[in-house]
């Protein structure tokens, strides 16, 4: 019975692939195998169509014109906000702020809430596995305010040491900013527990959802995150769009970020009345086309079902893990019990760059290097890894192509 249920619920990956035009292309004379999904995912035709339809059908600036095109564009733009609200289960649509991406969301919090609330001697806790986007904004803030940046250590498997985190927490802790999922290792962090502990210490918590939002079910209320930031382009949507979610009382009390049109209500020579949420943080003409097309991406994954996608990706992960483990000299970096479909590895005496070049020569796209997480690489005392990250359109045959490519590369390089 269970067998049947699994088959009925399994994803028809070959049908899914038909939605992604780029997957038909060849690279270096070989069919493209795209395993750099943690960097950015490919886009389904519906997303591309949404972009084209906007520009061919109703391109207009939003929120101001009273003409038909402006109304249509505004409606489509705001519809994305509603979809995002449901996607992360936010309490209200005003809590969804559109940004350029995750990095801008984190910078926004650091530069507004942070500048208002952080003073000399305060402490900000991040982890050793953060992406530079969740290190540098806090580093800049600490430099400016004389605050202290602290790092939660990790174990050999690439899991956060929650006990050590609890020791770092004190009445000086103002902010805890943690990746929901590590981009380099795939580790799923226990954010609910981390948030609860941080709240007990009176700290505000930002969750970097850049890597998690495409794989996991996101419920910002259940998680109790104060801020949650993520990007459209890692979710099959266009580049240049991100979301910052925040708790309402925090967003309302935060100073404005950038000045410009849209974020103001009234402007006089001697005073300015700022707009309400969420527009208060959306200065200037936003990225209208890409934001509209982002909805198509969210609808696309919703129609397939995240659970189904997750099951498929987990299958790919375990297939790849067990096969990669057989490769002589290969060591997987990041063996957390809870992982998304990302595998980072190193091979004895072989530089990741050589692997990356030779795999690319066979049409296999992987990421090599430090993955914008240099402190993490220092923890493992390695210059970088080769990372394969899987998405809903990847197949076991593609993993076989990776393995064949790896064996050939090792033979050449060893």
Partner 1 sequence: MKEHKTIEEIEKEIVEEFSLFDSWDDKYEYIIDLGKKLPPLEEQYKKDENKVRGCQSTVWLVAEYRDGAVFYKADSDAVIVKGLISMLVRVLSGQSPNAIVNAPLDFIREIGMIGHLAQTRSNGLLSMVKQMKNYALVYKLKNAV
Nearer to partner 1, 72 or 354 (CB): 354
Is 142 an annotated catalytic residue? no
Tell me the three-class secondary structure of the chain, residue by residue: CHHHHHHHHCCCHHHHHCCCHHHHCEECCEECEECECCCCCCCCHHHHHHHHHHHHHHCCCCCCCCCHHHHHHHHHHHHHHHHHHHHHCCCCHHHEEEECCHHHHHHHHHHHHHHHHCCCCCEEEEECCCCHHHCHHHHHHHHHHCCEEEEECECCCCCECHHHHHHHCCCCEEEEEEECECCCCCEECCHHHHHHHHHHCCCEEEEECCCCCCCCCCCHHHHCCCEEEEECHHHCCCCCCEEEEECHHHHHHCCCCCCCCCCEEEECCCCEEECCCCHHHCCCCCCHHHHHHHHHHHHHHHHHCHHHHHHHHHHHHHHHHHHHCCCCCEEEECCCCCECCEEEEEECCECHHHHHHHHHCCCEECEEECCCCHHHHHHHCCCCEEEEECCCCCCHHHHHHHHHHHHHHHHHHC
Does 25 engage in binding with partner 1 (CB under 8 A)?
no
Contact 409, 364 (CB under 8 A): no
Please, which residue, 173 or 368, has the CB nearer to partner 1?
Answer: 368
CB of 408 to partner 1, least distance (A): 8
| Whole-angstrom distance, CA of residue 309 vs CA of residue 306 | 5
CB of residue 19 to partner 1, shortest distance in Å: 27
Shortest Å distance, C-beta 356 to partner 1: 7
CB of 37 to partner 1, least distance (A): 18
How many residues belong to the site for partner 1 (CB under 8 A)?
Answer: 16
Residues 379-398 that bind partner 1 (CB under 8 A): 383-384
Name the CA dihedral angle for 304, 310, 311, 315, rounded to a multiple of 10 degrees: 130
Among 10, 68, 338, 353, indicate the residue that binds partner 1 (CB under 8 A).
Answer: 353
Contact status: 75 vs partner 1 (CB under 8 A): no
Q: How far is the CB of 351 from partner 1 (least distance, A)?
A: 4
Residue 52 near partner 1 by CB under 8 A = no
Q: Is residue 412 involved in binding partner 1 (CB under 8 A)? A: yes
CB closer to partner 1 out of 48 and 330: 330
Minimum Å gap between C-beta 125 and partner 1 is 30
Q: Given the complex with partner 1, which of 209 and 352 has the nearer CB atom?
A: 352
| Residue 413 binds partner 1, judged by CB under 8 A | yes
For partner 1, the closer CB: 108 or 358: 358
39, 46, 351, 382: residue in contact with partner 1 (rule CB under 8 A): 351
* 31 near partner 1 (CB under 8 A): no
- 181 touching partner 1, by CB under 8 A: no
Q: Tell me how far apart the alpha carbons of residues 226 and 220 are, in angstroms, rounded to a whole number.
A: 8
Catalytic residue among 168, 372, 382, 403: 372
Site for partner 1 in 118-177 (CB under 8 A): none
Nearer residue to partner 1 within complex by CB, 321 or 361: 361
For residues 294 and 231, what is the distance between their CA atoms, to the nearest angstrom? 10
Residues 355-374 that bind partner 1 (CB under 8 A): 356-358, 361, 368-369
- Confirm or reject binding of residue 116 to partner 1 (CB under 8 A): no
Q: Which is nearer to partner 1, 19 or 362 (CB)?
A: 362
Under the binding rule (CB under 8 A), the answer on residue 28 touching partner 1 is: yes
Contact between 278 and partner 1 by CB under 8 A: the answer reads no
Degrees, nearest 5: CA angle 376-380-384: 70
CB of 335 to partner 1, least distance (A): 25
> Is residue 405 a contact residue for partner 1 (CB under 8 A)?
no
Residues that bind partner 1 (CB under 8 A): 28, 350-351, 353-354, 356-358, 361, 368-369, 383-384, 408, 412-413
Catalytic residue annotation: 372
């Amino acid at each position: 019975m269970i067998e049947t249920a699994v088959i009925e619920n399994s994803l028809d990956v070959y049908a899914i692939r038909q939605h992604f035009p780029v997957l038909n292309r060849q690279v270096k004379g070989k069919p493209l195998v795209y395993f750099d999904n943690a960097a950015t995912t490919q886009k389904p035709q519906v997303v591309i169509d949404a972009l084209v339809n906007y520009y061919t059908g109703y391109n207009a600036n939003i929120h101001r014109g009273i003409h038909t095109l402006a109304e249509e564009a505004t409606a489509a733009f705001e519809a994305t906000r509603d979809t995002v609200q449901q996607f992360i289960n936010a309490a209200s649509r005003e809590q969804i702020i559109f940004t350029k991406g995750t990095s801008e969301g984190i910078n926004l919090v650091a530069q507004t809430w942070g500048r208002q609330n952080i003073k000399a001697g305060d402490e900000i806790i991040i982890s050793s596995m953060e992406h530079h986007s969740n290190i540098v904004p806090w580093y800049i803030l600490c430099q400016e305010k004389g605050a202290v940046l602290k790092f939660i250590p990790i174990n050999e498997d690439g899991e956060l040491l929650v006990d050590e985190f609890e020791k770092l927490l004190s009445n000086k802790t103002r902010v805890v900013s943690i990746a929901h999922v590590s981009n380099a290792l795939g580790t799923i962090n226990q954010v609910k527990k981390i948030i609860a502990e941080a709240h007990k210490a009176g700290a505000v918590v930002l969750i970097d959802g850049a890597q998690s939002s495409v794989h996991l079910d996101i419920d910002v209320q259940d998680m109790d995150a104060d801020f949650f930031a993520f990007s459209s382009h890692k979710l099959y949507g266009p580049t240049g769009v991100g979301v910052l979610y925040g708790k309402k009382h925090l967003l309302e009390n935060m100073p404005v970020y950038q000045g410009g049109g849209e974020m103001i209500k009234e402007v006089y020579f001697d005073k300015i009345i700022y707009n309400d949420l969420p527009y208060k943080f959306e200065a200037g003409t936003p990225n209208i086309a890409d934001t509209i097309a982002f909805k198509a991406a969210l609808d696309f994954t919703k129609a397939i079902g995240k659970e189904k996608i997750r099951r498929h990706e987990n299958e790919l992960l375990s297939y790849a893990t067990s096969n990669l483990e057989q490769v002589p000299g290969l060591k997987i970096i990041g063996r957390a019990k809870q992982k998304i479909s990302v595998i980072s590895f190193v091979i004895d005496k072989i530089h990741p760059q050589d692997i990356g070049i030779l795999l690319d020569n066979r049409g296999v796209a992987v990421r090599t290097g430090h993955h914008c997480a240099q402190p993490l690489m220092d923890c493992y005392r390695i210059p970088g890894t080769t990372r394969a990250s899987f998405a809903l359109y990847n197949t076991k045959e593609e993993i076989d192509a990776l393995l064949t490519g790896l064996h050939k590369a090792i033979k050449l390089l060893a």
